[in-house]
Amino acid sequence: MRLSDFIDSHIQEILTEWDAFAATELPSAAKMDVLSLRHHAPQILQAICDDLRQPQTEANRTAKSHGLAAISPNAPHTAAEVHVALRAQDGFSMTQLVSEYRALRTSVLRLWMAMKYSLSEDSAADDVMRFNEAIDQAIVESVDFFGQELASERAVREEINQELERNRGRLEYASRLSNVGFWYCDLPFDVLEWDDQVKEHFFFEPSVRVTIEDFYDRIHPEDREPTQRAIAASISNQNAYDIVYRTVAPLTGSIKWIRALGGTGYASDGTIAVARTFGLFFATAIAELLGCYLPLLWLSGRGSAWLALPAALSLMVFVWLLTLHPDASGRVYATYGAIYIATAIGWLYFVDGVTPSWNDYVGVGLALAGAGTIALGQR
């Protein structure tokens, strides 16, 4: 049986091996179903079969060896080009894509040779040579198309970056003309992201790192409490605020009147950003408690030494979660400490089987109240 006929009659077996290999192309393949793993493989095999059945001159052979095979004018893209475009969308690297073709070459030839068909040496050699040429042509088409798409993507990205730079320049120009500054801060309040205009309004140098304490220190004493109330109300009521306060230069006593407009960003489900931070703190506390509890079981003779392995893993997760916390500062760690206290008392009840006393509940309440006060900027 000629190789083209073999591919046609055994295509499902070949595709099964294709799917199995594609599933090993991690991490991209981990999120793909069977149809996505296969993509344009049937069309690629059909194109190879069609090519094998076509008569070929020596000039055709030379052109294909250089990756210059003729392409049908009726098809805007070859099967290999469509396949590489889909693979690129799935996050495959060029190395992974070429590996698929190497695996396909091996699978087809191994399965075909295992059947031990009766063919003349010339026919078998010609089929193998033509098949290798077709695979190489598909690789060339894929690599070339991948490069073109990458260049196009880079051009689009560069155009977007240039437009962003133009818009940023316009915004900065408008900001200077209008004397308006822009600021941002994650909850719980800590380091404030201010542009140079805002820092100038508060009598800071452009290079200064500004915290929430610095913000309130530069506000006129008579305006601090109303400002705190307005910001706290904005957070709790999920609305914008529009307030006027005075800033005071610490050395000269100069005063500027500032109108401030702001608001709080929320998740799509309406939860405030600080709620997500508290959830992160809770997960961190669980990882820390588990990482300490398991070795305790082992060292106290209540568990196997193998508990050290999940304990180490838990502490690794704990350290990783710490990297997701907001900027490391005393305020952030104070807030996390309160969540840790509450989690530890919960651990006391659910894991240790000890009912907390009223002192425990009061302590947890005070700790959480303090954390809430810190997080919401109630100072």
Query: 20-29, 92-101, 156-165, 289-298: which has the minimum mean pLDDT?
Result: 156-165
What is the pLDDT averaged over residues 262-269?
A: 64
State residue 99 phi and psi, 5-degree precision: -60, -35
Residues 6+ positions from 291 with CB-CB distance below 8 Å: 311, 312, 314, 315, 317, 318
Q: At residue 40, does pLDDT exceed 90?
A: no
Q: Where are the domains of the chain?
A: 3-157, 183-262, 273-375
The pLDDT tens digits of the residues spanning 213-226 come to: 899 999 999 999 99
Query: How confident is the model at residue 247, as a pLDDT?
Result: 95
Query: How confident is the model at residue 219, as a pLDDT?
Result: 94
Q: Taking every pair of C-alpha atoms in the chain, what is the biggest distance, in angstroms?
A: 101
Query: How confident is the model at residue 237, as a pLDDT?
Result: 74
Does the pTM surpass 0.75? The reply is no
Higher model confidence: residue 326 or residue 212? 212
Categorise residue 187: left if φ over 0, alpha if ψ from -120 to 50, beta otherwise. beta
Higher model confidence: residue 347 or residue 248? 248
Q: In the CATH scheme, what is the code of domain 3-157?
A: 1.10.490
Mean predicted lDDT score pLDDT of the chain: 81
Among candidates 187, 176, 379, which has minimal Cα distance to 279? 187
The pLDDT tens digits of the residues spanning 276-314 come to: 566 667 778 888 888 888 888 888 888 888 888 888 888
Q: At residue 41, does pLDDT exceed 50?
A: yes
What is the pLDDT averaged over residues 325-343?
A: 73
Query: How confident is the model at residue 378, as a pLDDT?
Result: 39
Determine the topology of domain 183-262 in CATH.
Answer: Beta-Lactamase (3.30.450)
Higher model confidence: residue 63 or residue 232? 232
Query: How confident is the model at residue 187, as a pLDDT?
Result: 65
Among candidates 91, 100, 94, which has minimal Cα distance to 38? 100
Which sign, positive or negative, has the C-alpha torsion 282, 288, 292, 297?
positive
The percentage of the chain sitting over the pLDDT mark of 70, rounded to a whole number, equals 83
Higher model confidence: residue 68 or residue 339? 339
What is the pLDDT averaged over residues 187-198?
A: 77
The pLDDT tens digits of the residues spanning 349-374 come to: 888 888 889 888 888 888 888 877 77
Distances (CA, A) of 268 to 184, 222, 262, 271, 346: 19, 37, 19, 7, 30
Rounded-to-integer distance, Cα 34 and Cα 20, Å: 9
What is the pLDDT averaged over residues 13-26?
A: 91
Query: How confident is the model at residue 277, as a pLDDT?
Result: 60
Distances (CA, A) of 246 to 10, 202, 212, 232: 81, 9, 16, 19
Burial 363-373 (b: 16+ CB within 10 A, else e): ebeebbebbee
- What does the DSSP assignment read for 108-163? HHHHHHHT-----HHHHHHHHHHHHHHHHHHHHHHHHHHHHHHHHHHHHHHHHHHH
Higher model confidence: residue 340 or residue 176? 340
What is the pLDDT averaged over residues 238-250?
A: 87
Helices (H) and strands (E) in the chain, counts: 15, 5
Q: At residue 184, does pLDDT exceed 90?
A: no
Higher model confidence: residue 124 or residue 169? 124
What is the pLDDT averaged over residues 187-191?
A: 67
Q: Do domains 3-157 and 183-262 have the same CATH topology?
A: no
- Specify which of 63-67, 85-89, 328-332 reaches the highest per-range mean pLDDT: 85-89
The percentage of the chain sitting over the pLDDT mark of 90, rounded to a whole number, equals 18
Order of strands, sheet of 210-211, starting from the edge strand that comes earlier in the sequence: 183-184, 191-194, 210-211
Query: How confident is the model at residue 279, as a pLDDT?
Result: 65
